[in-house]
Structure 1
Amino acid sequence: MTLDDNKNDLLPLLAYIDPAALTYQDWVNVGMALKEEGYTASDWDQWSARDTARYHAGECFKKWTSFLGTTTNLVTAGTIVDMAKRSGWQPPYSSGEDKELDWDDFIGSTKENKVLIDKNWLEGKEVIEPQTWNPVKDLIKYLETLFDSTENVGYVTTSWQKEGDNKYLPTKGNFDRTAGELIELLNICDGDVGGVFGDYNEACGAWIRFNPLDGKGVKNENVTEFRFALVESDSMEIDKQNEIIRTLELPVACLVHSGGKSLHAIVRIDAGSYEEYRKRVDYLYAVCKKNGLEIDSQNRNPSRLSRMPGVIRNARKQWLVDTNIGKTSFAEWQEWIEAVNDDLPNPESMADAWDNLPDLAPPLIDNMLRQGHKMLIAGPSKAGKSFSLIELCIAIAEGKKWIQWDCAQGRILYVNLELDRASCLHRFKDVYEELGLRPEHLSNIDIWNLRGKSVPMDKLAPKLIRRAAKKNYLAIIIDPIYKVITGDENSADQMANFCNQFDKVCTELGCAVIYCHHHSKGAQGGKRSMDRASGSGVFARDPDALLDLIELEITEDLVKQEENKAVCAACVAFLEEHYPKWEDDISQDDQCSERVMLDYCHKVLTVDAYASLTNNYVYVARQKVRQRTAWRIEGTLREFPKFPPIDLWFDYPVHHVDEIGVLKDIDAEGDQPSWKKNFKKKKSPDDHKNDRRKSVDSTYDIVKSFGEKVTLKGMAEYGGVTEKTVKNHLKEHGDFIITNQGEVMRKTEKVE
Structure 2
Amino acid sequence: MEYTTDLLEILNNINPSLLDYQEWCNVGMALKYEGYTASDWDYWSQRDSKRYHKNECYRKWESFTGSGVTGGTIVQYAKNQGWVPPIKESGHELDWDDVIEKDEQVIIDKNWIEGREVREPNNWNPVNELITYLEILFDSTENVGYVTKTWLKDEKHLPTQGCWDRTAGKLIQQLNKCDGDIGAVLGDYNKEAGAWIRFNPLDGKGCKNSNVTDFKYALVESDSMPIAEQNAVLRELELPIACLVHSGGKSLHAIVRIEANDMREYRKRVDYLYNICKKNGLDVDTQNRNPSRLSRMPGVIRNGHKQFLVDTNIGKESWDEWYEWIESINDDLPEPESLVECWNNLPQLAPPLIEGILRQGHKMLVAGPSKAGKSFTLIELCIAIAEGKKWLNWQCAQGKTLYVNLELDRPSCLHRFKDVYNALGIKPNNLSNIDIWNLRGKSIPMDKLAPKLIRRASKKDYIAVVIDPIYKVITGDENSADQMANFCNQFDKICNELGTSVIYCHHHSKGSQGGKRSMDRASGSGVFARDPDALLDLIELDLNEAHYKQLRNMSACKCCVDYLRANRPELLNELSQDDVLSQSIMIDFCKSKLGHDYYKELDTLVNEARDKATSITAWRIEGTLREFSKFPPVNLYFEYPVHVVDQDGVLQDIDPDDVKPQWQKAKEKRQEQAEKNKKKKVNEFEIQFSNIEIEGREVPAEELAEKLNTTPKTLLAWLGKSKKRNEDLAENFEAYYGEDGKRCIKRKDK
TM class by shorter-chain length? Answer: 0.5 to 0.7
- Answer yes or no: is 1:239 the counterpart of 2:228: yes
The 1-side partners of 2:308 and 2:231 are apart by 14
Displacement of 1:272? 6.5
CA contact (8 A) 2:622 2:634 kept: yes
CA contact (8 A) 2:618 2:636 kept: yes
Partner deviation per Cα, 1:283-312 (whole Å, 9 max, x = no partner): 221121122212233444556554454456
The 1-side partners of 2:564 and 2:64 are apart by 101
Given candidates 15, 28, 33, the residue that maps to 1:17 is 33
Equivalent AA in structure 1 for residue 88 of structure 2: S
Displacement of 1:369? 0.7
Aligned to 2:434: 445
SS at match of 1:81: helix
- Answer yes or no: is 1:169 the counterpart of 2:156: yes
The 2-side partners of 1:260 and 1:533 are apart by 60
Aligned to 1:115: 106
The 2-side partners of 1:375 and 1:648 are apart by 19
- Answer yes or no: is 1:477 the counterpart of 2:493: no
Partner deviation per Cα, 1:153-210 (whole Å, 9 max, x = no partner): 5445878796xxxxx7324368248675698468645679799864756xx6624233
Partner deviation per Cα, 1:605-648 (whole Å, 9 max, x = no partner): 332233333333x4344445444444433322110122233333
Aligned to 1:266: 255
Query: Residues 536 and 175 (structure 1 numbering): CA distance in 2 closer, same or farther, change over 3 Å?
Result: closer
The 1-side partners of 2:307 and 2:549 are apart by 97
Where does structure 1 lack aligned partners over 5 or more consecutive residues?
A: 3-9, 27-49, 65-75, 86-90, 98-107, 163-167, 681-752
CA contact (8 A) 1:390 1:431 kept: yes
Aligned to 1:545: 534
SS at match of 1:119: coil
Given candidates 374, 385, 395, the residue that maps to 1:396 is 385
- Answer yes or no: is 1:127 the counterpart of 2:118: yes
The 1-side partners of 2:36 and 2:470 are apart by 50
1:582-731 paired onto structure 2 within 5 Å:
582=571, 590=579, 594-616=583-605, 618-659=606-647, 661-663=648-650, 665-670=652-657, 673-674=660-661
CA contact (8 A) 1:361 1:370 kept: yes
Query: Residues 258 and 402 (structure 1 numbering): CA distance in 2 closer, same or farther, change over 3 Å?
Result: same
Displacement of 1:466? 5.7
The 1-side partners of 2:551 and 2:266 are apart by 70
Displacement of 1:255? 1.6
Equivalent AA in structure 1 for residue 630 of structure 2: K
Aligned to 1:358: 347
Query: Residues 170 and 507 (structure 1 numbering): CA distance in 2 closer, same or farther, change over 3 Å?
Result: farther
State percent identity of aligned pairs. 59
Query: Residues 259 and 436 (structure 1 numbering): CA distance in 2 closer, same or farther, change over 3 Å?
Result: same
Aligned to 1:379: 368
- Answer yes or no: is 1:249 the counterpart of 2:249: no
The 1-side partners of 2:180 and 2:667 are apart by 95
> How many residue pairs are counted as aligned between the two chains?
604
TM-score normalised by length of structure 1: 0.66
Aligned to 1:283: 272
Query: Residues 291 and 636 (structure 1 numbering): CA distance in 2 closer, same or farther, change over 3 Å?
Result: same
The 1-side partners of 2:636 and 2:150 are apart by 87
SS at match of 1:668: coil
1:439-588 paired onto structure 2 within 5 Å:
439-451=428-440, 454=443, 457=446, 461=450, 464-465=453-454, 468=457, 471-485=460-474, 495-496=484-485, 498-520=487-509, 524-525=513-514, 527-552=516-541, 566-576=555-565, 578-579=567-568, 581-582=570-571
Q: CA RMSD in A?
A: 5.0
Where does structure 2 lack aligned partners over 5 or more consecutive residues?
A: 3-25, 43-60, 79-83, 91-98, 669-750
The 2-side partners of 1:54 and 1:547 are apart by 60
Aligned to 1:424: 413
Query: Residues 358 and 126 (structure 1 numbering): CA distance in 2 closer, same or farther, change over 3 Å?
Result: farther
Query: Residues 215 and 399 (structure 1 numbering): CA distance in 2 closer, same or farther, change over 3 Å?
Result: closer
Aligned to 1:745: none
The 2-side partners of 1:414 and 1:456 are apart by 17
The 1-side partners of 2:292 and 2:30 are apart by 18
SS at match of 1:123: coil
Query: Residues 477 and 200 (structure 1 numbering): CA distance in 2 closer, same or farther, change over 3 Å?
Result: same
Displacement of 1:458? 5.6
The 2-side partners of 1:431 and 1:441 are apart by 15
The 1-side partners of 2:469 and 2:173 are apart by 64
- Answer yes or no: is 1:138 the counterpart of 2:129: yes
CA contact (8 A) 1:15 1:298 kept: no
Query: Residues 92 and 184 (structure 1 numbering): CA distance in 2 closer, same or farther, change over 3 Å?
Result: farther
CA contact (8 A) 1:17 1:84 kept: no
Aligned to 1:81: 74
The 2-side partners of 1:21 and 1:524 are apart by 49
CA contact (8 A) 1:369 1:639 kept: yes
CA contact (8 A) 1:175 1:216 kept: no
- Answer yes or no: is 1:415 the counterpart of 2:408: no
Equivalent AA in structure 2 for residue 125 of structure 1: R
Equivalent AA in structure 1 for residue 644 of structure 2: H
Partner deviation per Cα, 1:397-447 (whole Å, 9 max, x = no partner): 233221232223333232334433332221111111122223233333233
CA contact (8 A) 1:154 1:173 kept: no
Displacement of 1:672? 6.9
CA contact (8 A) 2:148 2:189 kept: no
CA contact (8 A) 1:156 1:207 kept: yes
State the structure with more CA Rg: 1
Which stretch shows the higher mean deviation, 148-157 or 224-233?
148-157
SS at match of 1:256: strand
Partner deviation per Cα, 1:436-477 (whole Å, 9 max, x = no partner): 223233333233444455556566556655655554433232
Aligned to 2:720: none
The 1-side partners of 2:413 and 2:292 are apart by 57
CA contact (8 A) 1:548 1:633 kept: yes
Equivalent AA in structure 1 for residue 116 of structure 2: K
SS at match of 2:253: strand
Displacement of 1:277? 4.8
Equivalent AA in structure 2 for residue 297 of structure 1: T
Query: Residues 453 and 624 (structure 1 numbering): CA distance in 2 closer, same or farther, change over 3 Å?
Result: same
Equivalent AA in structure 1 for residue 413 of structure 2: C
Aligned to 1:95: 88
Aligned to 1:683: none
